[in-house]
Structure 1
């Protein structure tokens, strides 16, 4: 990714925080096996500061959309506290196979790691960590549904496991859903909006990410329009 390509993904900037539009298919940070990572390209986002910004939270490799960065250590500490206390509003858009019969609801299913050999893969587990997701149907298509999901808790892979456990896996999910390991559609999960109450005497900062190319066709089939 060139510096210009990274700059083109900038959605919001102020003295403390940046929000960038993460593309699918790239991890936010380098794992134990190395390889390319999204944060490797953050030097283009310094805007005169001595250090590049750093991640205030994480998105899955295959998830796209709003990713919040702190511009320096003090900002990262403030943002980290907001995320830890679940004060940052997060709305995801997903296109799922089938879909719920109702128009809105909650998914309350505790989660734990699948096993140590699978890294961050998760599973439903009555003895796991409490995990809560609220959802609303934003549109329906032929054999699929467009959902607006809000994770009340922030467990790894929470939205993916919750949707799959309820019988409507996210399209393109090759871990918890029905997509093949290779050659299937890209995961249809977008970090659509973040709402960050960063400043005490100002309104919360609301930032939305554009719909990525790989989700446009199926979202349109569920009633989404390009001006939404």
Structure 2
């Protein structure tokens, strides 16, 4: 899997993480980003470190820090909700409204049979996602998601329980049908850096989105 670089300077890299590539080494083995970090040094002494996480299936913008100080600052920007994140997802159905905001608190549950998952829960951690309908084709809808918070599986649960329509291909919150992966793509990222120019990266739609008839335009 080729790792396309979307942004690069002395303290940061943003790569286009391919859908299907996990960040950490899977228990069963197989490819992961962790074993590719050495090739992303690009002449620097240290391997870059991921600042945030994307699910294995999610493609698109992933920020890596090139030194510990940058990692600390970028991590703080995420925690303080200063980072602008833009995701594109294909949901397995149509939507009556054109845009809105989902505010559903999320909590983690685990069972021996199904493993762990996130669920809407009044006493969970607050989670907010703004969304906008972009296009409809063949009973599917392309949606822009702008999460304010960064909870685990936030967009996936907010699509399924907030919009009432899960992301296409989602094996946990949907039916897994219609796509080889959960159709979610991190399309844009803006990270403020105080007096320095912000990190700004955007990532074009991947081939599997295009194959379903959707485009960036």
1:120 Cα offset (Å): 5.2
Equivalent position of 1:206 in the other structure: 200
Equivalent position of 2:151 in the other structure: 155
Structure 1 residues 93 and 45, CA gap change in structure 2 (3 angstroms): same
Q: How many residues align?
A: 215
Q: What secondary structure sits across from 2:13 in the alignment?
A: strand
Equivalent position of 2:175 in the other structure: 178
1:20 Cα offset (Å): 0.2
Scaled by the length of structure 1, the TM-score of the pair is 0.87
Task: Indicate whether 1:36 and 2:38 are aligned.
Answer: no
Unaligned 5+ runs, structure 2: none
CA distance in structure 2 between the partners assigned to 1:70 and 1:219 by the alignment: 35
CA distance in structure 1 between the partners assigned to 2:28 and 2:104 by the alignment: 31
Q: What secondary structure sits across from 1:218 in the alignment?
A: coil
Structure 1 residues 203 and 15, CA gap change in structure 2 (3 angstroms): closer
CA distance in structure 1 between the partners assigned to 2:111 and 2:23 by the alignment: 21
Equivalent position of 1:122 in the other structure: 118
CA distance in structure 1 between the partners assigned to 2:160 and 2:67 by the alignment: 38
Relative to its length, the structure with more helix (as a share) is 1
Q: Deviations over 1:130-157 (max 9, x none)?
A: 1111001111223111110011110111
Task: Indicate whether 1:72 and 2:44 are aligned.
Answer: no
Scaled by the length of structure 2, the TM-score of the pair is 0.91
CA distance in structure 1 between the partners assigned to 2:7 and 2:64 by the alignment: 10
1:161 Cα offset (Å): 0.7
Q: What secondary structure sits across from 2:60 in the alignment?
A: strand
Relative to its length, the structure with more strand (as a share) is 2
Please tell me the root mean square deviation across aligned C-alpha atoms, in Å: 1.9
